[in-house]
Amino acid sequence: MTEIIKLNHVNYSVNNSKILDDINLTINKGDFLTFSGPSGSGKSTIMRLIANMISPNSGEILYQNKDINDYEPTEYRREVSYCFQQPTLFGETVKDNLEFPFKVRNKKIDNELLIQKLEMANLNKNFINQKVIDLSGGQRQRIALLRNLMFLPSVLILDEVTTGLDKDNKEIIHNLVTDLNKNHDVTVLAITHDQSELNDSKSIVNIESGKIVEGK
């Protein structure tokens, strides 16, 4: 097993109040870890730290055995991709969002890849020209996810991306993510409160009051 991410004695406080307390965690390449725990226990904070959006007060976070601060930020964001619960879509159409990853990389837009990705998320090719404001919550979430997956990251962080979605949408996203993990070597870290997702998960990390309490 190859180690991909490691947290060593990570502490995080805001205004002297401790939010994460001595977090130690090793994540191997290809893992699918599900993070669970009460609201406010520190799950999103751990993910923001791993995504290098915030920095610990003490301790270190390694990506492929190197401190995450030693990576060029844009490069790191492409390797470790963080998807939020409430995604923001921009521009006017689905196309504007799905072409964005090509544009920031100065790459030619690959329309076939675009359609292939839409189909992976059970959306047909006509969605390309749909107006963002006309999308349902589930469609919106899927488009945001696809935007992050146009070029596959090594590590995909999903922060309650299925919260508030109906069963069908949850299932589509679940199948999509499972396929990436099983067949495309994407390491997945998923925060969820969804009982069926927790039941399906082989490895659960429980967070309570800023500490890892036990695993499954």
Ligand X SMILES: Nc1ncnc2c1ncn2[C@@H]1O[C@H](COP(=O)(O)OP(=O)(O)O)[C@@H](O)[C@H]1O
- Per CB under 5 A, residues contacting Mg ion are 44
- Between CA 158 and CA 214 the distance in angstroms is 20
CB 25 within 8 A of CB 212: yes
CA distance 151 to 204: 27
Shortest reach from residue 64's CB to ligand X, in Å = 25
Member of 2, 16, 39, 65 binding ligand X (CB under 6 A): 39
Question: What phi and psi, each to the nearest 5 degrees, are found at residue 119?
Answer: -65, -35
Among ligand X, Mg ion, none, the one that 19 touches (CB under a kind-dependent 5 to 8 A) is ligand X
Of 12 and 32, the one with the shorter C-beta distance to ligand X is 12
Taking CB positions, which residue lies at the least distance from Mg ion? 44
Q: Is 45 in the site for ligand X (CB under 6 A)?
A: yes
Q: Which is nearer to ligand X, 13 or 93 (CB)?
A: 13
With CB under 6 A, what is the number of residues at the site for ligand X? Answer: 10
Identity of the residue, 94 or 161, whose beta carbon is nearer to Mg ion in the bound complex: 161
Report the residue number, 50 or 89, with the smaller CB distance to ligand X: 50
Contacts of 179 (CB under 8 A, 6+ apart): 120
For residues 112 and 82, give the distance between their C-alpha atoms in angstroms, rounded to a whole number.
25
Does 192 engage in binding with ligand X (CB under 6 A)?
no
Closest distance between ligand X and the C-beta of residue 156, in Å?
A: 17
Report the half-sphere exposure of 173 (CA within 13 A, side-chain side). Answer: 31
Among 14, 53, 152, 213, binds ligand X (CB under 6 A): 14
Residue 111 beta carbon to ligand X: minimum distance, rounded to whole angstroms: 37
How many other β-carbons are positioned within 10 Å of the β-carbon of residue 210?
22
- Extract long-range pairs of 139-143: CB within 8 Å, 24+ residues apart: 140/87, 140/89, 141/87, 141/165, 141/169, 141/173, 142/169, 142/172, 142/173, 142/176, 143/89, 143/94, 143/97, 143/98
Least separation in angstroms between CB 47 and Mg ion? 8
Of 93 and 163, the one with the shorter C-beta distance to ligand X is 163
- By CB under 6 A, name the binding residues for ligand X: 14, 19, 37, 39-45
